[in-house]
Structure 1
Amino acid sequence: MDGGEGLSAPPASAPLQRARGRVSAGLFRRAWLRATLLLGPPAAWFVLIYLAALVVLFISAFWRVDEFTGELIHDWTLDNFKTIVEEPTYRTIALRTIGIAAAVTVTDALLALPFAYFAARLASPRLQTLLFVVVLIPLWTSYLVRVYAWRLILAQDGILNWTLHQLGLGSIDVAYSNWSMWIVFSYIWLPFMILPVWLAFERVPASLLEASADLGAHGWTTFRRVLLPLVLPGVVAGSIFTFSLTLGDFITPTLVGGAGSDFIGNVVYRSVGIASNVPFAAAFATIPLLVMAIYLLVARRLGAFEAM
């Protein structure tokens, strides 16, 4: 009897298993290769869709539309940018957009700091859970529902003025104005400021606060000189959301803003959908892109990305 007759042949998948083992060992030894294979497809998709779209947007800003035929002319010109700079209306719209975005960011920061401090450092675990749900509940509601609700509240015959009349305080006329946009934006984006600041407060070691108290610092001094510098990256991280979301919005100005409350987004929308002037819309849309690029560079220097 042949001595090898009783030996079974290796399974057909053995070469495949050995190949898998070699690939796995190679990936284990080369972390950069694992990262490339993991992040390569989404990075390629990001470059193809997002960055390519921004490049096309920027290039088309130098084109023009023929005033008589309405055809797109692929001539390189700075006329669109000159119109934005030289026309007072467009300068005012750009400054209004940036100014209200900055005002909303400051307002939300001032509201988020005491709330987040109480929630992170003083509230009990059960109350923290309740406060967390309270912060998230508005995000579960449609954006349009919240804007329309505030439109009813701020109307001339709305709930706000009715309440003021009942208290004998008269009425205020903030409906369909820049003030109403500031109020609505501050409410809508407030959760995006509270959450990063809350997380920043939770990261502060209690030992630092105890050391400050041991050195004789009062509560306000400890907050100003110890807590605030440590949570500043969280504030800047939240400001990225509030500032950018306000900067690019055009729905709220349409619904609660007045005749003189246009944002950059409203001009871009009309230039594309009504005037069919895509190059001018692209040129105007580069303003918030440049503003956010500068803002992100400053935020990076302040450590905001580590707090997100």
Structure 2
Amino acid sequence: MSDAIIIRPSGFGDRLSDVLWRRPTLLIGLMLAAPVLWLGVVYVGSLVALLVQSFFSIDEFTGLINRQFTLKTYRELFTSPANLDIILRTVLTAACVTIASAMIAFPIAYYAARYARGRWKALFYLGVMLPLWSSYLVKIYAWKLILAKEGILSWLLDKLYLNWLLEAYLSLPLIGGNSLSVSYTGTFIVFVYVWMPFMILPIQAALERVPSSMLDASSDLGAHPAQTFRHVLLPLALPGVVAGSIFTFSLTLGDYIIPQIIGSSRLFIGQAVYAHQGTAGNIPLAAAFTVVPIVIMGFYLWMAKRQGAFDAL
């Protein structure tokens, strides 16, 4: 019998390919090196730098940053009524937007998961994704025109002789204002509209994984539709609801453009960060404000993980 012919790699590329083939862990390490470096240096590094700056303070006499570690900035953040009002307003608005988005998105996602087929399902995805393809600012300014005092909504209510109802609503404290475009209600409506797709899609993905046989079995055993929803459908779809709430809650928590264009003059966390970073020049306080949503979302993600939300992402 003739000896086996062994072909050895001749060039550098062939030798490198042979080494990577023999050592797959080295190949995986080289493939992940660039993104891990980017994540570690740029993303995590910037967060660490932000956290460090929050422990600095502003010299009240010179206005310069005092780069000595202190809790003075956090004491100012959590003892000032104005700052606490900003944090409470932002968290409460984010929670309300998340709850409203879930209530609106659930029936839409349920219909898409259970009844939409073929062309109708394609139209569903097109309808959900289409708002995401348009300009963020264009959508917000379009809503500002809709909600303005002489906008489309006001004109429609006037034609229906219901303008008195809108005026009565706008006269309510806190949620009212001169018009919907300069009220908390207008801010809330635009938040729900802009982040709605991020709630619909995770819920729809979770509902598609619920076997129809379980719903049929619940009905056969005598459960009313409300009982089936409460004890069968909702627990199985809950990971999708929590997954969607991660997006809507976090995006609302950090947004500053929508409250800047639509809403009253009272600040949200994002606006406070923008103001202290730019106009006021108080970078430590801006960094401390930024740490607040990071901590809130860290706790929220920990709770979401316990609910199995990441399985529905």
Is 1:267 the counterpart of 2:272? The answer is: yes
Q: RMSD of aligned C-alpha atoms?
A: 2.1
* CA displacement at 1:200 relative to structure 2: 0.8
In the alignment, the residues of structure 2 paired with residue 283 and residue 140 of structure 1 have an alpha-carbon distance, to the nearest angstrom, of 34
* CA displacement at 1:219 relative to structure 2: 2.5
The equivalent residue for 2:3 is none
The equivalent residue for 2:101 is 108
* CA displacement at 1:33 relative to structure 2: 4.9
In the alignment, the residues of structure 2 paired with residue 112 and residue 204 of structure 1 have an alpha-carbon distance, to the nearest angstrom, of 17
Alpha-carbon deviations, 1:175-195, whole Å to 9, x = none?
A: 311111111100100000001
Amino acid at match of 1:223: F
Amino acid at match of 1:23: L
1:147-296 → structure 2 map (5 Å cutoff): 147-171=140-164, 172=166, 173=170, 174-260=180-266, 262-296=267-301
Return the match for 1:13 from 10, 14, 20.
10
In the alignment, the residues of structure 2 paired with residue 301 and residue 202 of structure 1 have an alpha-carbon distance, to the nearest angstrom, of 21
* CA displacement at 1:35 relative to structure 2: 4.1
In the alignment, the residues of structure 2 paired with residue 235 and residue 105 of structure 1 have an alpha-carbon distance, to the nearest angstrom, of 10
When structure 1 is superposed on structure 2, of 99-108 and 38-47 the one drifting more is 38-47
Alpha-carbon deviations, 1:137-192, whole Å to 9, x = none?
A: 10011111111111111111111111111111125233311111111100100000
* CA displacement at 1:16 relative to structure 2: 6.5
In the alignment, the residues of structure 2 paired with residue 89 and residue 145 of structure 1 have an alpha-carbon distance, to the nearest angstrom, of 31
What TM-score results when the alignment is normalised by the length of structure 1?
A: 0.90
Amino acid at match of 1:26: R
Contact between 2:20 and 2:26, CA under 8 Å: does it hold in 1?
Answer: no
Amino acid at match of 1:53: S
1:55-204 → structure 2 map (5 Å cutoff): 55-171=48-164, 172=166, 173=170, 174-204=180-210
In the alignment, the residues of structure 1 paired with residue 149 and residue 12 of structure 2 have an alpha-carbon distance, to the nearest angstrom, of 79
Change (3 A) 1:21 1:120: same
Contact between 2:102 and 2:245, CA under 8 Å: does it hold in 1?
Answer: yes
The equivalent residue for 1:43 is 36
When structure 1 is superposed on structure 2, of 95-104 and 218-227 the one drifting more is 218-227
* CA displacement at 1:272 relative to structure 2: 1.0
Contact between 2:56 and 2:70, CA under 8 Å: does it hold in 1?
Answer: yes
SS of residue in 1 equivalent to 2:240: helix
Instruction: Using the aligned pairs only, state the percent identity.
Output: 47
Amino acid at match of 1:67: E
For structure 2, the 5+ residue unaligned runs are: 1-5, 171-179
When structure 1 is superposed on structure 2, of 71-80 and 160-169 the one drifting more is 71-80
For structure 1, the 5+ residue unaligned runs are: 1-8
* CA displacement at 1:268 relative to structure 2: 0.8
* CA displacement at 1:107 relative to structure 2: 0.3
SS of residue in 1 equivalent to 2:52: helix
Amino acid at match of 1:24: W
In the alignment, the residues of structure 2 paired with residue 277 and residue 283 of structure 1 have an alpha-carbon distance, to the nearest angstrom, of 10
What TM-score results when the alignment is normalised by the length of structure 2?
A: 0.89
In the alignment, the residues of structure 1 paired with residue 276 and residue 132 of structure 2 have an alpha-carbon distance, to the nearest angstrom, of 31
Contact between 2:20 and 2:27, CA under 8 Å: does it hold in 1?
Answer: no
* CA displacement at 1:15 relative to structure 2: 8.8
When structure 1 is superposed on structure 2, of 97-106 and 211-220 the one drifting more is 211-220
When structure 1 is superposed on structure 2, of 156-165 and 241-250 the one drifting more is 156-165
In the alignment, the residues of structure 1 paired with residue 55 and residue 8 of structure 2 have an alpha-carbon distance, to the nearest angstrom, of 65
In the alignment, the residues of structure 2 paired with residue 50 and residue 91 of structure 1 have an alpha-carbon distance, to the nearest angstrom, of 28
